[in-house]
């Protein structure tokens, strides 16, 4: 069982969101089950090659696009002790620039479709030339959605699994762009209702197995929640090969007992470090240093569906009631401006940090009391899992993976505060319940203990992926 896991982002090398976390940790968890596990990803300009020991393999080739041969070279991570071999596709024209999907101004690169066509064609080239010895190709999200169909066009005896990390992003491409793809693939593509193509739907149609990252989201997709009718039909057509497997987390990297990014470590048996981290978080971010003031944290891409319209609406009221907020995120400029304005209106009470900041993300998890994650929909969500592990109580909308992983608080039970439907009033009600409970010190510490006792390691889920590989 030789597996190659193909992903546009892989932590710790490159990360824009949860896909990177999964691509960095799931292959590791699958090592005990398979003969060999390899990961393939682009070598983006910002990846620190010396730091990670990334060196050329000597393998090179080229892909012909529009009669132009575009060269690539393959690098790998030279750490012989690593249980997973990671291969990097280098091509200066497509991946040499800084940024994974977007430029510094937050705009997506105009040639993103071509970049991931190229990446997938390189993977196919490596398979055809037998540089990669693989019998299972594990594809992830739309950047790799054409590979299952491409495999069939070249008659390779390789089975494919396609994992949907987020159905919102299709990787739509035009008929004109499609002409860059190999001819045998073109006859297989199905047009969407907009007359273009969807790399995501292609992956769903052609993979031998399809899954998404939680049973709850699988259920939501099968029911057609937040889906247009034609997309829903593709999911229903794939139903017999479609499952939901909840994401795990890297429990070594997200571990409050040894986290190098937090000034104070802590554990379920000694939470004193958590309170010190709260003070540190407040101090470093211009918040009033008050131990008893409930502090809400948020770490997120700034997009509408993460629930920001609901959150922004209630900030003034909750600050007046004596709560503090810290937001870390990058993305939509309107959302960023609204959070910035709120922080200027309430100095010492609301902090907003614009940008991607891994150390601060860890400190927010470690130092906050509560974590806000009221996403309109959420395939799995990782931050609520990190929050539970760090004793930071999540407030979530009952949707997808959030509903699967957080149990609503009732006296003596539950791990967080869950609300539905997705409405401002319902989020407020959940926050009120949380703030009332926060005052009951015994009840609150029970909640923290239950949250921190949950097991979100990959063990169970890796076994489920292995079952799919085996089938």
**Rule CB under 6 A: which residues touch ligand ADP?**
17-18, 21, 166, 299-301, 328-330, 356-358, 361, 380-383
What's the min distance (Å) between Cβ of 357 and ligand ADP?
5
Judge contact between 208 and 148, C-beta under 8 A: yes
| Shortest distance in whole angstroms from residue 292 CB to ligand ADP | 27
User: How far apart are CB 393 and ligand ADP at their closest, in Å?
Assistant: 16
Nearer to ligand ADP, 206 or 353 (CB): 353
Which of 125, 250 has the CB closer to ligand ADP? 250
Can you tell me the distance from the alpha carbon of 206 to that of 147, in angstroms, rounded to the nearest whole number? 9
Region of 53 on the Ramachandran plot (φ > 0 left; ψ -120 to 50 alpha; else beta): left
Across 237-389, where does the E strand assignment appear? Answer: 242-244, 295-302, 324-331, 350-354, 370-373
**CA–CA gap between residue 180 and residue 146 (Å, rounded):** 13
Let me know: does 11 contact 21? Beta carbons within 8 Å: yes
Closer to ligand ADP by Cβ: residue 38 or 277: 277
- Min separation Cβ 108 and ligand ADP, Å: 15
Taking the least distance from each CB to ligand ADP, the nearer of 189 and 406 is: 406
Q: Provide, rounded to whole angstroms, the least separation between the CB of residue 107 and ligand ADP.
A: 17
* Look-up of token digits 């995120």: 329
The nearest distance, CB 305 to ligand ADP, in angstroms, is 9
Is 210 in a helix, a strand, or coil? strand
Nearest-approach distance from CB 302 to ligand ADP, in angstroms: 8
- Is the Cβ–Cβ distance between 307 and 376 less than 8 Å? yes
Residue closer to ligand ADP by CB (options 114, 328) is 328
Q: How far is the CB of 181 from ligand ADP (least distance, A)?
A: 27
Q: Return the number of the residue (131 or 340) whose C-beta is nearest ligand ADP.
A: 340
Question: H helices within 129-168, ranges in order?
Answer: 147-154
Q: Nearest residue to ligand ADP, using CB? A: 18
- Asked whether 212 and 227 are in contact (CB, 8 A), the reply is no
Name the nearest CA neighbour of 297 among 376, 361, 381: 361
What's the min distance (Å) between Cβ of 60 and ligand ADP? 33
Is residue 303 within 8 Å of 329, Cβ to Cβ? Answer: no
DSSP string, 59-72: EEEEEEETTEEEEE
CA distance 193 to 159: 29
Rg (CA), the chain: 23
Which is nearer to ligand ADP, 328 or 388 (by Cβ)? 328
Q: How far is the CB of 245 from ligand ADP (least distance, A)?
A: 14
Intra-chain end-to-end CA distance of the chain, in Å: 11
Tell me whether residue 34 or residue 164 sits nearer to ligand ADP (CB atom).
Answer: 164
- Cα distance between residue 70 and residue 180, in whole Å: 12
Q: How far apart are the C-alpha atoms of 181 and 410, rounded to whole Å?
A: 55
Which CB, 159 or 306, lies closer to ligand ADP?
306
Q: Nearer to ligand ADP by C-beta: 363 or 427?
A: 363
- Alpha-carbon distance of 373 to 301, in angstroms, equals 11
């Amino acid at each position: 069982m030789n597996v190659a896991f193909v992903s546009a982002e892989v932590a710790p090398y490159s990360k824009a969101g949860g896909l990177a976390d999964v691509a960095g940790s799931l292959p590791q968890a699958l090592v005990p089950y398979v003969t060999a596990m390899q990961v393939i990803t682009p070598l983006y300009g910002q990846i620190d090659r010396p730091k990670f020991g990334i060196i050329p393999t000597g393998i090179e080739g080229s892909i012909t696009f529009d009669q132009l041969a575009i060269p690539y070279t393959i690098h790998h991570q030279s750490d012989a002790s690593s249980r997973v071999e990671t291969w990097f596709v280098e091509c200066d024209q497509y991946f040499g620039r800084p940024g994974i999907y977007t430029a510094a101004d937050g705009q997506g690169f105009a040639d993103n479709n071509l970049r991931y066509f190229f990446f997938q064609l390189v993977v196919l080239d490596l398979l055809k030339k037998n540089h990669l010895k693989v019998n299972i190709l594990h594809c992830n999200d739309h950047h790799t959605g054409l590979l299952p169909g491409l495999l069939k066009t070249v008659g390779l005896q390789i089975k494919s699994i396609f994992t949907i990390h987020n159905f919102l992003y299709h990787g739509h491409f035009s008929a004109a762009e499609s002409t860059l793809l190999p001819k045998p693939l073109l006859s297989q593509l199905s047009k969407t209702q907009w007359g273009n193509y969807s790399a995501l739907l292609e992956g769903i149609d052609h993979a031998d197995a399809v899954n998404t990252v939680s049973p709850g989201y699988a259920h939501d997709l099968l029911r057609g929640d937040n889906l247009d009718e034609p997309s829903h039909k593709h999911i229903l057509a794939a139903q017999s090969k479609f499952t939901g497997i909840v994401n795990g987390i890297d429990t070594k990297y997200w571990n409050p007992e040894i986290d190098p990014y937090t000034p104070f470590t802590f554990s379920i048996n000694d939470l004193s470090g958590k309170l010190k981290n709260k003070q540190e978080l407040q101090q470093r971010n211009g918040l009033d240093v008050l131990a008893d003031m409930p502090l809400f944290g948020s770490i997120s891409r700034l997009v509408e569906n993460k629930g920001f319209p609901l959150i922004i609406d209630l900030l003034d009221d909750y600050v007046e009631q004596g709560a503090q907020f810290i937001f870390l995120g990058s993305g939509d400029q309107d959302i960023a401006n609204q959070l910035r304005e709120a922080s200027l209106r309430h100095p010492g009470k609301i902090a907003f940090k614009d940008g991607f900041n891994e150390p601060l993300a860890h400190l927010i998890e470690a130092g906050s009391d509560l974590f806000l994650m009221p996403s309109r929909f959420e395939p799995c969500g990782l931050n609520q899992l990190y929050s539970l592990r760090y004793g930071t109580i999540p407030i979530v909308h009952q949707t997808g993976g959030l509903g699967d992983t957080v149990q609503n608080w009732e006296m003596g039970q539950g791990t967080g505060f869950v609300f539905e439907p997705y409405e401002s009033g319902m989020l407020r009600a959940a926050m009120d319940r949380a703030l009332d409970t926060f005052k009951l010190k015994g009840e609150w510490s029970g909640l923290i203990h239950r949250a921190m006792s949950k097991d979100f390691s990959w063990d169970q889920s890796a076994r489920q992926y292995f079952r799919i590989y085996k089938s």
